[in-house]
């Protein structure tokens, strides 16, 4: 299933209190960034140019890995791609040793603790990962089913999230930094609902952002360096708080966040950027945030920069 068909499939299933979401509402991202073409986690990056995957660490030169891909994602040490045939592949330091994780995959969401897989029937499954002596990740061979009727999801460093087709957000994991957004610091024994009217969720090191149907971005969790803006700055926020509006897509890294507004402009805030959102590019298609840098696609150009500096073109993104 190609990306256009995926989006049509999702649109046909998104309901809020029995009404179909307006077509002007942003489509949920199908990656651990603002969209399927980019992925960043700390200093590991993947970019999808056409259907070809490029991979690199830090500020190294992107290297082409494979083609025939529709989505990319990364964990702490592993890279993940979704083929045009709906097959999810994963590898560590060598693409020649890639393994098949799942078939009939609509989209996936990767992070430090595992991988969420949304299958063609809209069910959500989770592969856990375990550290191998601090280096690399070992993926559990069999996934466990989490839920049905899934729109999108996110794997965080400490808590995981999924959104159902009616816009309800569910969370499970640690709550010590306010990750649930329900005003409590106690973890639940299973997934619980903590927000509604949600179209996208992204999470990272103890903090989470949600994008609502009305284009507003809300955040909760750890905020020492400002990825939530002014909301709970210096420590943490334990309840969802409004951060920005008129947003179409969003992404967050370990200490800064970014959004693409409906006019295509890219805005950022957090560590080395300031607490108030500021415009960093006039036009961007997709963005992903790492720890020390951000990557973005604007038309056919791939950009990268450190928080606090200006974007720099690093590659023309053509097949």
The stretch 126-149 carries a mean pLDDT of: 79
Distance CA 23, CA 42 (A): 34
Cβ atoms within 10 Å of 88's Cβ, excluding its own: 24
Structural domains present in the chain: 3-15+28-316 (2.130.10.30)
Give me 285's structure tokens: 């298609």
177-232: per-residue pLDDT in tens?
999 999 999 999 999 999 999 999 999 989 999 999 999 999 999 999 999 999 99
pLDDT of residue 116: 95
CA–CA separation, 132 vs 121, rounded Å?
33
Residue 23 has pLDDT above 80, yes or no: no
Indicate the length of the chain as a whole number.
319
Find, among 76, 134, 59, the residue nearest to 110 by Cα. Answer: 76
Looking at residue 4, what is its pLDDT? Answer: 44
**Rounded Cα–Cα distance for residues 248 and 250 (Å):** 7
Residue with tokens 């500021």: 278
In whole angstroms, what is the distance from residue 111 CA to residue 304 CA? 21
pLDDT in tens, 223-257: 999 999 999 999 999 999 999 999 999 999 999 99
- pLDDT category of residue 9 using cuts at 50, 70 and 90: very low
What pLDDT digit, counting tens, does each position of 267-296 carry?
Answer: 999 999 999 999 999 999 999 999 999 999
């Amino acid at each position: 299933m190609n990306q256009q068909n995926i989006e049509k499939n999702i649109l046909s299933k998104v309901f809020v209190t029995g009404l179909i979401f307006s077509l002007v509402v942003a489509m949920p991202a199908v990656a651990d960034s603002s969209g399927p073409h980019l992925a960043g986690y700390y200093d590991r990056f993947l970019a999808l140019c056409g259907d070809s995957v490029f991979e690199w660490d830090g500020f190294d030169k992107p290297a082409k890995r494979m083609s025939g891909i529709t989505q990319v994602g990364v964990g702490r040490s592993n890279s993940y791609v979704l083929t045009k045939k709906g097959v999810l592949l994963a590898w560590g330091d060598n693409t020649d040793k890639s393994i098949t994780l799942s078939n009939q995959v609509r989209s996936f969401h990767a992070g430090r603790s595992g991988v969420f897989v949304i299958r063609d029937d809209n069910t959500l499954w989770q592969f856990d990962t375990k550290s191998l002596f601090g280096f690399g990740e070992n993926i559990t061979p069999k996934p466990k089913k989490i839920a049905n009727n899934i729109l999108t999801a996110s794997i965080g460093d400490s808590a995981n999230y999924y959104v159902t087709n009616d816009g309800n957000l569910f969370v499970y994991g640690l709550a010590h930094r306010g990750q649930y957004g329900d005003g409590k610091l106690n973890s639940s024994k299973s997934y619980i609902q903590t927000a509604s009217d949600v179209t996208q969720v992204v999470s990272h090191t103890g903090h989470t952002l949600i994008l609502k149907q009305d284009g507003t971005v809300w955040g909760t969790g750890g905020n020492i360096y400002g990825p939530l803006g002014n909301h709970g700055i210096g420590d943490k926020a334990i309840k969802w708080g409004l951060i920005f509006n008129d947003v179409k897509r969003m992404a967050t890294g370990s200490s800064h966040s970014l959004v693409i507004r409906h006019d295509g402009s890219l805005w950022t805030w957090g560590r080395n950027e300031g607490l108030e959102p500021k415009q960093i590019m006039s036009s961007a298609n997709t963005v992903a945030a790492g720890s020390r840098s951000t990557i973005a696609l604007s038309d056919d150009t791939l950009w990268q920069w450190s928080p606090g500096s200006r974007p720099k073109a690093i590659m023309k993104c053509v097949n």
